[in-house]
Amino acid sequence: MSSSPLLSVRDLRVDFAAHGGRVQAVRGVSLDVHRGQTLAIVGESGCGKSVTVQSLMGLIPTPPGRIHGGSATLMGHDLLASKMIDGQDIRGRLVSMIFQDPMSSLNPTMNIGDQIAETLQVHKGLSHADAFRRAIELLDMSKIPEAGRRAKQYPFEFSGGMLQRAMIAMSIACEPAILIADEPTTALDVTIQAQILDLLKELQAETGMAIVLITHDLGVVARMADRVLVMYAGEIVEQGSVDDIFYRSAHPYTLGLRRAMPSNDPQMSQSLLAIEGSPPDLFDPPKGCGYHPRCEHAMQACLESPPAYGLDPGHSSRCWLHHEQTSQRPDALYFQSSQGADHDPLG
């Protein structure tokens, strides 16, 4: 990647106060988002993917939440430092967000048009009438039929899919550089899911915005993403291009995810395989690699945190199996042919 990233996050750490201790939700996440790119963050529920983006948006309630390490820079703004002061200029204007459940994510006592218009009034200083007119255009862009009439309706008069379109219209109102979509299709019917994803792609092509897509659905990843981060237990275990992740999985967890997903890939076994065990309680995370209690290839070394091994440009995996001295080389995993040829940009 030649251009400098829009968003650059380094070693982000977030935890939450809980009954008798702290839950370490995010444990040192680093990521870059580039212009026009779609970055997918994949993982099981509770792996910290939502917390990562929500802490960047300043949506983590503090307390009990706490960002206790790392940095995040968005187009020259320090996101973590200026959360309260500049946050309003950044949120909704430079970076906007859509959520999992469109039904509850809109104010039930305000009509849709007003909810879109208020963003424009705040960020662009438009009058209410102008903002409302623009809101109707945005609804139209988001493929909502009869946008003029629908703008005056309330959320309970919309279906889930229509509401998610309205949410998208709202989020692109100020032409943000980055749109964060936190499981945007999880609550929707499968047919609607595809329409929403297509809409996102189309709007991305029109506006050139970057999308950060949070999902646990590899199907959605395959359809949308340019780059993929795989998260487990609050850490990024593997990252790479969408092809790297799907055809050259280098982390046992990524492989586990793929095996759990229906596929017509002849290389994969015919029956779906569940990953044994359950995700760790981040109240007391396992020592070393978070995945080792469930990993079939676990070694004594896995009680120490593995470094990120760069495999190909932009493709890295945090797993001791990639250490040059390791003799275990499971066939299903991808290994770099020549050691140390590349470096991992995120170290």
Chain positions contacting other proteins, by CB under 8 A:
16, 18-19, 23, 57-59, 61, 64, 87-93, 96-97, 99, 101, 104-111, 118-119, 122-123, 154, 156-157, 167, 170, 277, 281, 283-284, 286, 292-293, 297-304, 307, 309-310, 320, 323-328, 340, 343
The distance of closest approach from Cβ of residue 136 to other proteins in the complex, given in angstroms and rounded to an integer, is 18
Q: β-strand 227-232 against 210-215: which pairing, if any? A: unpaired
Q: How far apart are CA 43 and CA 45, in angstroms?
A: 7
The rounded Cα 330 to chain-centroid distance in angstroms is: 29
Measure Cα distances from 39 to 86, 209, 226, 274, 343 in Å: 25, 11, 6, 25, 20
Q: How far is the CB of 218 from other proteins (least distance, A)?
A: 26
215 vs 258 by CB, closer to other proteins: 215
- Residue 284 CB, nearest approach to other proteins (Å): 5
Q: How far is CA 12 from the centre of its chain?
A: 14
Residue whose CB is less far from other proteins, 96 or 258: 96
The nearer residue to other proteins, 186 or 326, going by C-beta atoms, is 326
Q: Which helix (H) or strand (E) holds 130?
A: helix 128-141
Task: Name which of 20 and 76 has its Cβ closer to other proteins.
Answer: 20
The nearer residue to other proteins, 153 or 263, going by C-beta atoms, is 153
Min. distance of Cβ 294 from other proteins in angstroms?
A: 9
Q: Which residues of 241-261 are buried (b: 16+ CB within 10 A; e: fewer)?
A: bbebbbebbbbbbbbbbbbeb
Minimal distance, residue 304 CB to other proteins, in Å: 8
Between 242 and 289, name the residue whose CB sits nearer to other proteins.
289
Residue 216 near residue 46 (C-beta atoms within 8 A): no
Q: Which are the contacts of 270, defined by CB distance < 8 A and separation ≥ 6?
A: none
The one-letter amino acid code at 99 reads F
Amino acid sitting at position 179 = L
Residue 28: left (phi > 0), alpha (psi -120 to 50), or beta?
A: left
Whether the bond between 63 and the residue before it is cis, its omega within 30 degrees of 0, is yes
Least Å distance, CB 6 to other proteins, is 17
CB of 237 to other proteins, least distance (A): 17
As given in the structure block, the two tokens for residue 342 are: 């590349």
**Which is nearer to other proteins, 240 or 310 (by Cβ)?**
310
Judged by CB, which is closer to other proteins: 68, or 287?
Answer: 287
Q: Least separation, in Å, of the C-beta of 104 and other proteins? A: 4
